[in-house]
Amino acid sequence: MRILYLLDLVGVAVFAISGTLAAGRAGLDLLGVLVIAAVTAIGGGTLRDLLLDRHPIFWVRDPRYLYVIGTTALLTVACARWGSLPYHDVLLVADALGLALFALTGAELAEEAEHPAVIVVLTGTMTGVAGGVVRDVLTAQVPLILRGDIYASAAIVGIALYLMLHRLGVPRAFAFAAGFLTVAGLRLASVTWGLQLPTFELRG
């Protein structure tokens, strides 16, 4: 079983958690929650497969993704109902992990198709970001991508590091891990300590 496949499953699961929590905030019913969780979880990978013309799309080819999403969403609902889930923190952590996983798997697939570095970076970033954007649009939130801290930037930096290490001869698994930790770490550090890259601000 390819490791990328496992990581895709994990990415799908963490984005399903974040979609479930966002749908819960919007007060949807249980089946509606499942749909938002699914669309959030498969948004990034679906965009990746459409852009790179990989058919059938990952979840059409393999329904296991959808079972993972359904199970994860139901467990999340149960935890939120009967446990004391710190809603906001879990959403941010799940979103950061999903961003990191999809950014790196998106980049790796683009790299395998032998695209140049700039396309690998953009494809990976869009793959990582799309699920969260879909979730935010469908639940009528300001996209998380805009809330003033490091988001897409974390994906770019992490993917660039992965590409650099891999081209310098570092084995793929290590480069992948370094990239993943960079994306998730930057994102969480930004949320926790208010870290920011220099911003570009315009008064209109």
For residue 113, give both structure tokens. 């198709």
Nearer to a copy of itself, 89 or 171 (CB): 89
- Choose the stretch contacting a copy of itself; rule: CB under 8 A; options: 7-15, 97-105, 173-181, 193-201: 193-201
Question: Per CB under 8 A, does 82 bind a copy of itself?
Answer: no
Q: Does an H or E element contain 145, and which?
A: none
Minimum distance of a copy of itself from residue 171's CB (angstroms): 26
For residue 64, give both structure tokens. 């296991």
CB 33, CB 26: distance < 8 Å: no
Candidate residues 101, 107, 109, 129; the one interacting with a copy of itself per rule CB under 8 A? 129
CB 55, CB 38: distance < 8 Å: no
Question: Per CB under 8 A, does 24 bind a copy of itself?
Answer: yes
Distance of alpha carbon 95 from alpha carbon 91, whole angstroms: 6
Question: Per CB under 8 A, does 192 bind a copy of itself?
Answer: no
Question: Per CB under 8 A, does 191 bind a copy of itself?
Answer: no
Distance of alpha carbon 90 from alpha carbon 80, whole angstroms: 10
Distance of alpha carbon 162 from alpha carbon 164, whole angstroms: 6
Q: Does an H or E element contain 144, and which?
A: none
Q: Would you tell me which residues interact with a copy of itself (CB under 8 A)?
A: 20-21, 23-35, 38-39, 46, 50-53, 55-57, 59-60, 63, 66-67, 70, 77, 80-81, 87-88, 115-116, 118-119, 122-123, 125-126, 129, 133, 137-140, 142-143, 145-146, 148, 150-153, 156-157, 196-204
